Amino acid sequence: SMLNAMISFDPLFFPARYNYGRFLFLQKNFKEASYEFSQAKNIIPAYYRNYLHLGLIQIYLGKKQEGEH
């Protein structure tokens, strides 16, 4: 996909990481989405939506307590 190509070209390009995570999340591919959101979090730690998505993934995976903290 185009987002994969962008990430391959520049792994620190936040918009590609975050939006690829969103795409994977919507496809219910939570494991890979979690990885992309974690990478995006490392690039821009202050962006709160990374944490929101990571928490939602934990809840969807049945790890409710981790997702609520």
- DSSP readout, 5-63? HHHHH-TT-HHHHHHHHHHHHHTT-HHHHHHHHHHHHHH-TT-HHHHHHHHHHHHHTT-
pTM: 0.87
pLDDT of residue 56: 95
- Written as tens digits, the pLDDT of the chain (69 aa) is 798 899 999 999 999 999 999 999 999 999 999 999 999 999 999 999 999 999 999 999 987 665 555
